[in-house]
Each structure stands twice: as structure tokens, then as C-alpha cells.
């Protein structure tokens, strides 16, 4: 079953889309008359959009589908023609009855084609666009030559090398030689534009993507162009002034190596990076990301396009929130604490066997589970199964901050809705934590299972933890709760495993594994599955896909979605 429930009511049948017939490089195609602009509003379809539909590449620098059109780079100039009109305002026909096409030419030099910028020129019925013609090619060559005359050509030391549009287009559309024999214009190098952004003005091609993003998307008109003409230079008012929470998106947007991330600068040639589709965990927005890693070390996060979630952007805080994954004090060993306070490293089998034994003796109602809304939905589902076996109280920990107008959510947990839909937490997250604390104090709760949270920060202090008969803790980094655990089970960062999160708007999204776990650490769902199987004596699917599908079948809000049906962009579930 692939019928997916959505948060919105089922859309009415869309109105018929009005189409236009045009030709792209001689091939007739039908394209919608109107298409979404950068804000998603329907506007007359542009030549560039039409060429994309036709599968014809139109190279461009300043154009970006999510930014207002600037039309300044001129790389997308294409030769074109329109049906010739007679004095009677009727099309002039060729002898074979086809409409005669008047190619656009310079009015003062009718032998020379006049191109139009594909990014801003609307199509019209019968228009012919020639993205593959010799004239178009010559226009591209000329623009590339112009862009390179004052460029430093320092590709060997440029971070953008390998993902630079100047390099790519030079190979595809450029020419080997430049005629330029003059001295180059020199501009500022290594400018501290903001705390996270370094600018090389000599590499800049003045496409203004960064300015438009900051002004029109981030709402911070902090960048501008100073000076004039060939001396134009991107600048902020003063050093470091470019400091909103979205500055690093300009590094992604920059088609060349002008804007670089202070964090990533000179660290890694991009072609060595393995790219993994994942989701940001810093808040409940769940921005889609690509993790760039090499040999099990994460080097960067970049936003991944998803119009249902984050368009093409992510915040700087989320983007830079990866370093903890590689922290040297990561929990790497399965440990059992002895009565004298010492602890031993034990094998996973021993830990699972002993925990199973202890839990099996637990009286119903004497167990509580504190899970984390940073865990995957599958892990939460397994913890709920475990809790159900003992009639355990469950909850998780709220985590909030200030929301902004673009992407950052007040809910800083990535999977609050997963915790709610699996039944771990309630509408008001953390509401039962005092009850758990009281249960421990009164002695009715004797076993506590904690995943991914330091409960000493949430009303269950070390004194209470000391009263427990059994404290099972799984986490990633050490804290007072892990220090008090009888059994400590090292878990994985999201980048080290697979799973799903459900974001604040009910978008169910999956993420994949980028790097290997540290030491003994295993994905939580794996050892939770072993524990649940042992404790409940029920079969639990052995693969993540199977586990997800089982969970989906049990939660009506999921509408029966399968793991394979989630896709790279996620699906909506009912929240």
C-alpha cells in the first residue's frame, strides 16, 4: 500500500494547465504557459525553464531558482526566433506551410544574432530557442572570456575547485586561449566578511547571489557592492558585519571560490568527500542535508534541496553542529558498574543477557523509560515495546529555544513528533518526568532505562539515580547519568546509522549512514531489538526496513507508508 496520508486535505483536481508549443534546438515541445518563480508564484514560463523541460542545458551563474532573477552574468544568453508577422498581423508562412521564423538580430546590424537572457525572457507561442547553436556558443565563450580576464586563475589552491562553475563551464563552453594581454584588476583577498565567511574578491564574478540571498531570503541586507565598474567589489559595512544565522548558505550559492566557509576552508578537496543524504538534528525543522565525509570523518554539512522542508537552505548553527560526532570522549565501550563503584568493559551479549535477566524480574509498574526526542522513530518504537512489557511510564525531554522567521524552530528536538506518535511522549513533552522522579523517591520505580538524555538535568538527580536497583543508560557522550549507569550502552550519532525523524510539521524523513560508529558503539535499534526480543519473547524484524514497516502498520497516522516509499524527500504523516 502506498497511499500516504498528508497533513493537508486531499487537493482538488488541478485546473488544466495551459500549454505553449515551442521549439528547442529544432525539437517541438509543449511547456506550461506559466511556471513557478522563485517564490513559487506562477509567472510566464522563461526560456530557461523551457530549455530545462526540453533537457537542453543552459549554463548560468547569477540565476538561481530560489532567488529573484538578476540577469547580470549574461551566461544564459541564447539565440532565438519568433514567428514572423505580416502587416496583417498574421504569421508569414514558408512555402511548406510552416510558420516563418524571424531570428532575433541586432536592429542596427541585421546580420548579427541578438541573444536573450534565458533566465528572464518569457517564452511565446511558436518561439524557437537555439541553446545549441553556434551563435549561442559564441556568446557563452565571450562571457566566459570576460569573466576570466580579471580572475586570478588560482584553481590549485581554491576550495571551490571541483565544484566550480567557472571551471565546469570553461571546459564545456570556453576556449583554450584568452586574448587578454593587459594587467589584471586587483581586489581584496581573504576578507573577513563575517565570523564564518571569508571572501576572495578577485575570484568573485559579481553574480550577486549572496546579496540577493541575504536581502531577500535571510532578511539581512548586510552585503552590497562598493566601487564602480570593473572595480566593483562585494563587501559588508565593516569586517565581520555579515553575521546572521544563514551566512553559510552564500558559500553554497557562490558559483565560484569567492565565498568560502571559515570552517571548511583549506580542509579537504571536495572530490575526496563521500556524500550521504541525511537530515539536520538541531531542531524540529529537519533541514535536509548532505553529509560530506572522508574515511569516517565528517567534514561538512550542506543543505539538500527539499521544497517541503528547507527549500535549499539551512542555518549556520545547524550546519556547524557536527563536531560532537567526532569528539574524542565519545562513549566507546559497553560497561557494567560494580557495587564498589568500579566498572568493567563487557561484551554486548553479556550486557543484553544480564539486562534481560534483571528486567525479567521487574514487577509491572516498577520500570520507567526516559527516551530522547533526538532518537530515531524506530528506536522510540522499540523502547515503547519494551515499556509496554512492564507497563512502564515513559516520557522524553523537551528542548526549546527561540524560533526565527525562516528555518529555526522553537522545538530543538529533531523527532518530537516521532516520540509522540510512538507513544513515548505526550503532547506536553516531559510532563511525566516529575512522576518518574517521585516514583524513584518513593521506591515504586526500581528500574530506569534512559536513552540519550542526562536526566540529572531534568529533575532526576544523582541522589535519585543512586536509589535505583537497575539503571540502564545508552548515550553518545559522557554525562552524570551515564556515570551512574549500571549498564552503559554506547550509541550512535545519526550520521552513524539509518533511521527516520518526523519534523515539526509532520514530515517523515529518513537519513542514511555516513560514517562508522566509534569503538563498541552500535546503532541503538540493533541492540534494542535484541533486548526487546529477549525480554518479550516476540519476533522483531531483523532489518531496519522491516522494523519501520512493522511500526508503520501499527501507527495509523503513518498511512501505511513503507520504508521504500519515504524517498529522499520524505512524506507527510498526520500529527
Partner 1 sequence: MPEEFKLITKNLDQPGFTPDIGCYQRHGGYEALRKALSTAARDLPDGKKQSPQEVIRDEVLKSGLRGRGGAGFSAGLKWSFVDRRSGKPIYLICNADESEPGTFKDRQILHRDPHQLIEGMIISCWANDVKLAYIYIRGEMPIAARRLNQALAEARAAGFLGKNILGTGYDLEIHVHRGAGAYICGEETGLIESLEGKRPYPRIKPPYFPAVLGLYLCPTIVNNVETLCHVRHIVTLGGAEYAKLGTPNNTGTRIVSLSGDVQRPGYYEIEVGKVTLGELIQHPNFGGGLRPGRQLKAIIPGGSSSKVLKAGEKFQLKRKGPDGQMTSVETALLDLPYDFDSLQQAGTMSGSSAIIVLDDSRSMVATLGNLSEFYAHESCGQCTPCREGALWMEKALHRLNHGEGRKSDADYLLHIAQNIQGRTICAFGEAASWPVLSFVKKFRDEFESKGAADESARAANPARPQH
Partner 2 sequence: MSFSVPSKLEAELDELATHYPQKRSASLMFLHALQEHFGFISRDAVEWTATKLGLQPINVYELVTFYPMFRQEKLGRTQVRVCRTLSCALAGAYELRDHFCKNLGLDTAKHGPQTTPDGKFTVEFVECLASCGSAPVVMVNDDLLEKVTAADAEKVLTRGRVTE
Report the alpha-carbon distance of residue 26 to residue 89 in Å, rounded: 24
Report the alpha-carbon distance of residue 424 to residue 62 in Å, rounded: 48
State the minimum distance, in angstroms, from the CB of residue 372 to partner 2: 41
Report the alpha-carbon distance of residue 370 to residue 380 in Å, rounded: 10
State the minimum distance, in angstroms, from the CB of residue 274 to partner 2: 39
From the list 164-172, 231-239, 305-313, 484-492, the region that binds partner 2 by CB under 8 A is: 231-239
26, 454, 488 from 466: Cα distances, Å: 79, 14, 15
Report the alpha-carbon distance of residue 29 to residue 19 in Å, rounded: 10
State the minimum distance, in angstroms, from the CB of residue 236 to partner 2: 6
Q: Are strands 19-24 and 27-32 parallel, antiparallel or unpaired?
A: antiparallel
Residue 237 in contact with partner 1, rule: CB under 8 A: no
Residue 235 in contact with partner 2, rule: CB under 8 A: yes
Q: Which three cell numbers stand for residue 93?
A: 508562412
State the minimum distance, in angstroms, from the CB of residue 435 to partner 2: 51
Contact criterion met (CB below 8 Å) for 225 and 235: yes
Which is closer to partner 1, CB of 47 or CB of 508? Answer: 47
Residue 215 in contact with partner 1, rule: CB under 8 A: no
11, 278, 420 from 306: Cα distances, Å: 20, 12, 24
Contact criterion met (CB below 8 Å) for 342 and 413: no
Residue 271 in contact with partner 1, rule: CB under 8 A: no
E strand or H helix that includes residue 552: helix 544-554
Contact criterion met (CB below 8 Å) for 100 and 91: yes
Three-state SS across 322-383? CHHHHCCCCCCCCEEECCCCCEEECCHHHHHHHHHHHHHCCCCCCEEEEECCCCCHHHHHHH
Which is closer to partner 2, CB of 153 or CB of 225? Answer: 225
Which x/- pattern over 271-300 shows residues binding partner 2 (rule: CB under 8 A)? ------------------------------
* Backbone phi and psi for residue 548, each to the nearest 5 degrees, phi listed first: -60, -45
Which is closer to partner 1, CB of 18 or CB of 182? Answer: 182
From the list 63-71, 305-313, 463-471, 503-511, the region that binds partner 1 by CB under 8 A is: 63-71
Among 36, 91, 122, 461, binds partner 1 (CB under 8 A): 122
242, with CB counted inside 10 A (0-12, 13-18, 19+), is buried
Residue 324 in contact with partner 1, rule: CB under 8 A: no
Which is closer to partner 2, CB of 214 or CB of 396? Answer: 214
Of 140-159, binders to partner 1 (CB under 8 A) are 142-143, 145-147, 149-150
Residue 225 in contact with partner 2, rule: CB under 8 A: yes
13, with CB counted inside 10 A (0-12, 13-18, 19+), is exposed
Q: What does 198 interact with, of partner 2, partner 1, none (CB < 5 to 8 A by kind)?
A: none
State the minimum distance, in angstroms, from the CB of residue 196 to partner 1: 26
Which x/- pattern over 176-215 shows residues binding partner 2 (rule: CB under 8 A)? ----------------------------------------
Which residues 6+ apart lie within 8 Å of 70 measured at CB?
62, 63, 207, 208, 209, 212
Report the alpha-carbon distance of residue 248 to residue 317 in Å, rounded: 10
Count other C-beta atoms under 10 Å from residue 51's C-beta: 24
Report the alpha-carbon distance of residue 271 to residue 248 in Å, rounded: 20
State the minimum distance, in angstroms, from the CB of residue 162 to partner 1: 23
E strand or H helix that includes residue 316: helix 316-319
Which is closer to partner 1, CB of 89 or CB of 179? Answer: 179
From the list 10-18, 74-82, 277-285, 510-518, the region that binds partner 1 by CB under 8 A is: 74-82
Residue 445 in contact with partner 2, rule: CB under 8 A: no
Which x/- pattern over 165-204 shows residues binding partner 1 (rule: CB under 8 A)? --------------xx-xx-x-------------------
Q: What does 235 interact with, of partner 1, partner 2, none (CB < 5 to 8 A by kind)?
A: partner 2
Q: What does 179 interact with, of partner 1, partner 2, none (CB < 5 to 8 A by kind)?
A: partner 1
Residue 14 in contact with partner 1, rule: CB under 8 A: no
Which is closer to partner 1, CB of 11 or CB of 229? Answer: 229
State the minimum distance, in angstroms, from the CB of residue 223 to partner 2: 7
Which is closer to partner 2, CB of 223 or CB of 495? Answer: 223
State the minimum distance, in angstroms, from the CB of residue 257 to partner 1: 17
Q: What does 41 interact with, of partner 2, partner 1, none (CB < 5 to 8 A by kind)?
A: none
State the minimum distance, in angstroms, from the CB of residue 57 to partner 2: 34
Residue 53 in contact with partner 1, rule: CB under 8 A: no
Report the alpha-carbon distance of residue 300 to residue 298 in Å, rounded: 6
Which is closer to partner 1, CB of 231 or CB of 324? Answer: 231
End-to-end C-alpha distance for the chain, whole angstroms: 20
Contact criterion met (CB below 8 Å) for 52 and 129: no
Report the alpha-carbon distance of residue 245 to residue 313 in Å, rounded: 11
Contact criterion met (CB below 8 Å) for 205 and 199: no
State the minimum distance, in angstroms, from the CB of residue 119 to partner 2: 23
Name the packing angle between helices 544-554 and 377-390 (round to 10°). 60
Which is closer to partner 2, CB of 78 or CB of 222? Answer: 222
What b/e sequence results for 393-410 when a residue is b if at least 16 CB atoms lie within 10 Å of its CB, and e otherwise? bbbbbbbeeebeebbbbe
Which x/- pattern over 98-117 shows residues binding partner 1 (rule: CB under 8 A)? --------x-xx--x-xx-x
- Taking CA 70 as the corner, what is the angle to CA 287 and CA 147, rounded to the nearest 5 degrees? 100
From the list 216-224, 271-279, 381-389, 418-426, the region that binds partner 2 by CB under 8 A is: 216-224
E strand or H helix that includes residue 51: helix 47-54
Which residues sit at the interface with partner 2, rule CB under 8 A? 220-228, 235-237, 241
Which residues sit at the interface with partner 1, rule CB under 8 A? 69-75, 77, 106, 108-109, 112, 114-115, 117, 120-122, 139, 142-143, 145-147, 149-150, 179-180, 182-183, 185, 205-206, 225, 227-232
Amino acid at each position: 500500500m502506498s497511499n500516504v496520508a498528508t497533513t493537508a486535505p486531499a487537493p482538488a483536481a488541478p485546473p488544466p494547465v495551459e500549454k505553449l508549443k515551442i521549439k528547442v534546438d529544432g525539437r517541438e515541445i509543449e511547456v506550461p504557459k506559466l511556471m513557478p518563480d522563485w517564490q513559487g508564484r506562477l509567472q510566464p514560463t522563461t526560456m530557461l525553464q523551457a530549455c530545462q523541460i526540453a533537457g537542453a542545458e543552459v549554463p548560468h551563474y547569477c540565476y538561481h531558482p530560489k532567488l529573484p532573477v538578476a540577469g547580470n552574468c549574461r551566461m544564459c544568453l541564447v539565440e532565438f526566433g519568433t514567428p514572423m508577422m505580416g502587416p496583417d498581423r498574421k504569421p508569414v508562412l514558408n512555402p511548406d506551410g510552416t510558420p516563418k521564423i524571424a531570428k532575433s538580430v541586432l536592429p542596427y546590424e541585421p546580420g548579427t544574432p541578438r541573444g536573450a537572457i534565458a533566465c528572464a525572457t518569457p517564452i511565446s507561442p511558436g518561439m524557437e530557442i537555439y541553446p545549441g547553436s553556434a551563435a549561442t556558443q559564441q556568446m557563452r565563450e565571450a562571457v566566459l572570456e570576460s569573466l576570466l580576464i580579471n580572475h586570478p586563475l588560482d584553481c590549485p589552491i581554491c576550495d571551490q575547485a571541483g565544484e566550480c562553475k567557472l571551471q565546469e563551464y570553461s571546459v564545456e563552453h570556453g576556449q583554450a586561449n584568452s586574448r587578454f594581454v593587459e594587467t589584471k584588476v586587483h581586489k581584496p583577498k581573504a576578507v573577513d566578511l563575517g565570523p564564518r565567511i571569508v571572501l576572495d574578491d578577485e575570484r568573485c564574478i559579481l553574480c550577486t547571489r549572496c546579496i540577493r540571498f541575504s536581502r531577500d531570503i535571510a532578511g539581512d541586507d548586510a552585503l552590497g557592492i562598493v566601487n564602480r565598474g570593473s572595480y566593483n567589489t562585494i563587501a559588508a559595512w565593516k569586517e565581520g558585519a555579515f553575521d546572521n544565522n544563514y551566512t553559510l548558505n552564500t558559500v553554497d550559492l557562490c558559483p565560484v571560490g569567492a565565498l568560502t566557509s571559515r570552517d571548511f576552508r583549506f580542509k579537504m578537496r571536495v572530490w575526496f568527500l563521500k556524500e550521504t543524504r541525511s537530515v539536520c538534528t538541531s531542531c524540529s525543522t529537519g533541514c535536509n542535508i548532505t553529509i560530506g565525509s572522508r574515511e569516517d570523518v565528517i567534514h561538512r554539512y550542506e543543505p539538500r534541496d527539499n521544497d517541503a522542508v528547507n527549500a535549499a537552505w539551512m542555518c549556520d548553527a545547524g550546519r556547524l553542529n557536527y563536531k560532537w560526532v567526532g569528539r574524542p570522549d565519545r562513549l566507546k565501550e559497553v560497561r557494567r558498574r560494580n557495587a564498589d563503584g568500579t566498572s568493567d568493559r563487557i561484551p554486548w551479549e553479556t550486557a543484553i543477557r544480564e539486562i534481560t535477566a534483571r528486567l525479567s524480574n521487574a514487577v509491572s509498574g516498577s520500570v520507567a523509560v526516559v527516551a530522547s526526542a533526538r532518537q530515531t522513530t524506530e528506536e522510540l518504537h522499540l523502547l515503547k515495546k519494551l515499556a509496554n512489557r512492564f507497563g512502564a511510564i515513559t516520557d522524553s525531554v523537551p528542548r526549546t529555544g527561540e524560533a526565527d522567521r525562516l528555518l529555526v524552530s522553537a522545538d530543538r528536538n529533531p523527532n518530537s513528533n516521532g516520540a509522540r506518535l510512538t507513544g513515548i511522549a505526550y503532547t506536553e513533552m516531559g510532563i511525566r518526568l516529575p512522576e518518574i522522579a517521585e516514583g524513584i523517591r518513593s521506591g515504586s520505580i526500581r528500574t530506569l532505562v534512559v536513552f540519550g538524555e542526562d536526566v540529572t538535568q531534568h529533575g532526576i538527580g544523582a541522589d535519585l539515580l543512586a536509589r535505583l536497583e537497575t539503571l540502564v543508560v545508552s548515550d553518545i557522550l559522557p554525562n552524570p547519568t551515564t556515570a551512574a549507569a549500571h549498564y552503559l550502552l554506547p550509541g550512535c550519532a545519526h550520521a552513524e546509522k539509518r533511521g527516520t525523524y518526523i519534523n515539526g510539521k509532520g514530515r517523515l524523513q529518513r537519513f542514511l549512514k555516513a560514517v562508522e560508529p566509534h569503538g563498541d558503539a552500535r546503532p541503538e535499534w540493533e541492540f534494542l531489538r535484541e533486548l526487546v526480543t529477549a525480554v518479550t519473547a516476540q519476533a522483531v524484524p531483523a532489518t531496519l526496513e522491516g522494523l519501520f514497516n512493522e511500526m508503520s502498520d501499527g501507527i495509523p497516522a503513518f498511512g501505511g507508508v513503507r520504508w521504500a516509499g519515504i524517498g529522499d524527500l520524505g512524506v507527510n504523516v498526520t500529527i
